[in-house]
Amino acid sequence: MECPWGAHEPLENDSEPGKAGTKPRKAAPDLEDLDLGTAGKGAEWTSWFNIDHPGGDGDHESLAAIRFYYGARVCARPVAIEARSTDWQLPEALGQLVHASPKRGFRCLHREQPPGTACANYHVRFLCPLGHIYWSHWSPWSPCSRSTCGTWGTQSRTRTCRSARSPAPRKELRCQGKATERRACSGPCAEPTWTEWGSWGPCSRSCGGSGKRVRRRSCRTSKSPPCPGRATETQKCPPSPCLGCPGHTLHGTVVTSSGVALPDARIYLDGQPDVLLARSDAQGRFTASGLCPGPAANLSAHRDGFAPGLAPIITNGSGVAVAHLRLRRLEKPYMVLHPAAKVREAGQDVTFCCKASGTPAPQKYFWYHNGTLLEGPAQRTSGRLELRGLAPQQAGTYHCKASSEAGAIRSAPAQLTVLAQGQQSCRAEPEPSLVELPSECPQDASGSRFYNVGRCPASPCPRGPAEPGGCGEESRRCCGVRRMELREVPCTGSVLPVKVVAECGCGPCAQPRVLVQGRVTAADTGEPLRFGHIFLGARKVGFTGYQGSFTIEVPPDTRRLVTRFVDGQQRLVDTVKVLPFDRRGGAVYQEVKMLRKKEPVELDGSQSNAIPLGESGGREPVGELVLPAGVFLRPSGEVFNGTVKASVTFVDPRDMATASAASSDLSFANSEGEIVPLRTYGMFAVDFREGDSGAALQAGPVQVRMDAGQVWMAEHLDKMKLWSLNPESGLWEEEGVLRPAGGSRRKREERTFLVGNLEIRERRLFNLDVPEDRRCFVKVRAYSNEKFNPYEQLEGVVVSLINLEPQPGFPSNPRAWGRFDSVVTGPNGACLPAFCDSQRPDAYTALVTATLGGEELEAVASSPKLNPNAVGVAQPYLGKLGYRRSDHEDAALKKTAFQINVAKPDPNNVDESNGPVYSYRSLRECEEAPVSANHLRFYRVEVDKYEYNVVPFKESDVTSWTGDYLAWWPNPQEFRACFIKVQLEGPQEYMVRSRNVGGSHPRTRGQLYGLRDSRSVRDPLLDNTSGACVEFKCGGMLFDQSLVDRTLVSIIPQGSCRRTAINGLLRDYLSRHPPLAENNHTGAFSMLAPLDPLGHNYGIYTVTDQNPRLAKEIAIGRCFAGTSDGFSREMRAGEGTAVTFSCQERPPGRESFFQRLLIAPAEALEEIRREMGRSELRRAPPEVMDFASGAPGPTRRTPSSQRRPGRLRGQR
């Protein structure tokens, strides 16, 4: 068992069984000493408790106090305690001294902390045994009974039977098993040792190849046992050429595929790679002497970053030979054909195919089944995998890996389904699929206007026995509609025809066109890219239109659509995008942004130059590009020392506006061939041209200097690398490593730089990145409205996720973006890759947006009140994610994005095992997650809501609580949420406000606690009726826990509304618990908040929980349902209502009382007092009246009906 941080109190323990009459003794076992697995039941942790806050002298979490509040939720005798701060930090991580005991609890004292610091706010949990009798862990083995080398004796170890409860009589302790174990042992002997290694002997070959040499050592003792290891060691000798032909000379050159000279290339005689003949110089030239090549001899050239090249040796017989070698840049493999999913019956055959491209072309292929390598030579040399006579156990996932000397690449997995003979993969009975009927159509018995028309899942079917099954030859069969029926639904005055699926069956798969449409514009001005070139890999496929529009038909079997947009006028930087698309068919719309090239500066090619990177916007440069003298080259390899026009365009991740214009998706293929993400610190595009002719120039090697001060995550300093973009694969490939070096920049203060070198040849887009292995997936769904019905999900929505830098306070960069991804939603939503962290929830943040055909969808609101049921994620995980919509702090901003902390789920926490964040290895689990699992949402419906606290409090951060008499929440350890249900009869939905002031406490009487606004939600079963669940401040103790306050709550609906009824039970309760609030103004309702948790019969809903948002959402769900123990997402305005208003359209120009209260609250309240004075002579007895009839009466009720799934409107 893993031992967490904590303290362990001594337990009562009796003596071992069989020793009757001895007095029980006390031991002091800790968690490591008590073997909790020996009782067969183990132990489990309680939930977290937090009953105190770090006020006064510190934070005290007493076990006695926890038992007082939570009773039996803590066992009688815990064996361990764990404490963490509300930020999930261990005390030692915070550097704090604390005291913890499972017998007494936890305490942290301010005076014991380092100067200038105070105790954090801690919560604790206890480890409780699930059984009664346990063994301790075994003691260490005793010393051997014999001490002479080579003699045999015995040694023993013991354990003790103990009780996890209060001390029990010794006779009741009966542990199964032995209390003592013994084993044979031998006396200790001196360890034999080796002498030092001797010197290396002579090489076995003098020239012409690699030889071997040997060195030896001896064991110092001849007795047994012998010395571990080997007595001899062998290594290769450095090879040296044999000068067989004095006077013979070989001259040659090494250039790139474009003709540029390649320095430092290693030259070998083909067939003898160990004998180095020469190295090319700065001009790519080399000379070798004394070589006697045969008539068919070839030279090979090798250089880091390039594929080896071969060239024949040409000689004229005079002793002089020449050879010219051309090297192609190494390109990591990338997959061009992925294996496809297959369905087969047992006994049939199947063939999977994959193909990779790159330089050099991959020659090795490896096939895997469920992640396990398939053995055999056939699986290592071919992109084909043939399986004959399939058995059921061969079902699962298959993928291939292609490799070359440049690297490796893995294919996407393909699912193989093996059916039993005769088993159907396509059920004849259709799956449910609901459509919403017109409003004039009647509801069914459950009150729903949705009708089931059925659907057939587009799952693959097995091929016929006579159909071919090779690569690309298989005709695909899918489950589809076999028969439909016409049905008629009676509606008001008409009949609505509806066709429903009656039967499903296998048939040819539909082959819809897969399209990506969109528009390409300049990121700064929005100017369209007119008649720009479009490339898929190296193939040109078309042009953009006059307005920058484009349509791309996705080739079959494409998994990664890499598209390059080129501005023919060279005003915009070439942009490579990995465009999302819907593989099932249809068009996906995508806005593409291109960066404008930075205006060129003129440089003297014969002098050294430096160009800053990222200095715009008044920011410190991220680094600089250092160009030595003579670094510019013409394509022929000639050095150019004239005037150079240099344009270096930097994409600065510190500027959020640049994220949409960055190229590719910041991914690379690691050594295992897996495509993994990068985190960028900036990318730059270069364009060097001759000043007069404008001809393109190359450069190299150049130096990139990066300011280490811009890298605030210390672990990234050792990982920083230079990368270049492969425009065909869309993947970044490593160019070099940035290593620390000291230096200063232009006579300013001393700086530390990361320095690296690169050559600017064919590729012109580079990146300063670190590989990031903390990865997750985030589940997102899009809905057609805010009901969030599973059958109303939107498909084809482009969901984009931008990885942001951490929140302030985390030791990393200021707010900036580090990565971006886009995925298209399918019938089960979308899973987006993101950086995540398991230690700090706020270590990485993601900004998520969604568009459908260019239209931005709305995210679920996060302020002023967070609704887990609307967001789609349950507490407490939602609190850990810190969900915030883009308008959380500024209502003027758009509502079309949300931001979350990408907190990696804890596998040991059941609350985090159901999404919306999944570990990187759980992609399939994310993709197949049911709609009931946690997920994040976008939708098209907006409802207003507002909260205001006089004493600010962030409900997602309990540590922001402030002890004040006017605090909305009087106790930060226990949150009591109160709601009142208001029914409104009228043609609209109305805003309803609760105004909360002190009512009976002498320190707060008449002072405002806060305001709550909530828009009413229509009841689908009642015409012209809506309901509002309005929060009010509960009555009870204030923060000093000395006196209670019955909050004076005023409920004021917007519009021309008149109070018509009050719940009879609530009226009677208020009458029996004076004083009564005045209720003479018919446009409002006032009460002194009850101290008792009343319930739905009174129209009051109260929930207490340790999480304020969870308490409120439970109360809202009950309020919507009109019950004290249920939960609903659909408003039942006629059930469980406290007060009823009748609302009408007011005359033009006349303000409602609600508006007068907003504009001039003092005058509005004075109006209430005047009306109260005028009615003093005719006041009724001190009871709450039904103003519709002038006498007490019950609230109008409607018959309860069966609940059905609906939406939680008015709450976010």
Report whether pLDDT(291) > 50: yes
pLDDT per residue over 550-588, tens digit each? 989 888 888 889 999 999 988 999 999 998 887 777 667
Report whether pLDDT(1142) > 90: yes
Report whether pLDDT(783) > 80: yes
Report whether pLDDT(479) > 80: yes
Most confidently predicted of 482-486, 808-812, 844-848 = 844-848
Under the banding of pLDDT at 50, 70 and 90, the label for residue 527 is very high
Predicted pLDDT of residue 1056: 85
- What is d(CA 462, CA 349) in angstroms, rounded to the nearest whole number? 11
Predicted pLDDT of residue 954: 59
- What is d(CA 173, CA 162) in angstroms, rounded to the nearest whole number? 7
Predicted pLDDT of residue 621: 87
Mean pLDDT confidence for 1048-1058: 89
Report whether pLDDT(445) > 90: no
* Contact of 520 with 568, CB cutoff 8 Å: no
Under the banding of pLDDT at 50, 70 and 90, the label for residue 1063 is very high
Whether omega for the bond prior to residue 465 falls within 30 degrees of 0, making it cis, is: no
Stronger pLDDT, 424 or 36, i.e. the higher one: 424
Report whether pLDDT(1) > 80: no
DSSP 351-401: EEE-EEEEESPP-EEEEEETTEEPPSGGGTS-SEEEE-S--GGG-EEEEEE
Report whether pLDDT(1185) > 50: no
Report whether pLDDT(456) > 60: yes
pLDDT per residue over 738-766, tens digit each? 888 754 444 444 567 778 887 777 677 78
DSSP structural state of residue 69: H
Under the banding of pLDDT at 50, 70 and 90, the label for residue 1207 is very low
Percent of the chain with pLDDT over 90: 16
Task: Characterize 224-251 residue by residue with b for buried, 16 or more Cβ atoms within 10 angstroms of its Cβ, and e for exposed.
Answer: eeebeeeeeeeeebebbbeeeeeebebe
Predicted pLDDT of residue 377: 58
* Contact of 529 with 544, CB cutoff 8 Å: yes
Predicted pLDDT of residue 240: 60
0.75 exceeded by the pTM? no
Q: How does the average pLDDT of the chain come out, rounded?
A: 79
Least trusted range by pLDDT, from 378-392, 883-897, 938-952: 938-952
Using CB atoms within 10 A of its CB, is residue 671 exposed (0-12), middle (13-18) or buried (19+)?
exposed
What is the CA 768 to chain-centroid distance, rounded? 23
Under the banding of pLDDT at 50, 70 and 90, the label for residue 173 is low
Predicted pLDDT of residue 966: 83
Least trusted range by pLDDT, from 228-242, 399-413, 506-520, 692-706: 228-242
pLDDT per residue over 375-390, tens digit each? 765 556 678 888 888 8
Predicted pLDDT of residue 1101: 94
Neighbour count for residue 589 (Cβ, 10 Å) = 17
Mean pLDDT confidence for 896-925: 88
- What is d(CA 615, CA 610) in angstroms, rounded to the nearest whole number? 13
Under the banding of pLDDT at 50, 70 and 90, the label for residue 206 is low
Least trusted range by pLDDT, from 127-131, 232-236, 250-254: 127-131
Report whether pLDDT(211) > 80: no
Mean pLDDT confidence for 284-309: 83
Mean pLDDT confidence for 149-174: 72
Per DSSP, the three-state class of 113 is coil
Percent of the chain with pLDDT over 70: 80
DSSP 1191-1210: S--PPP------------TT
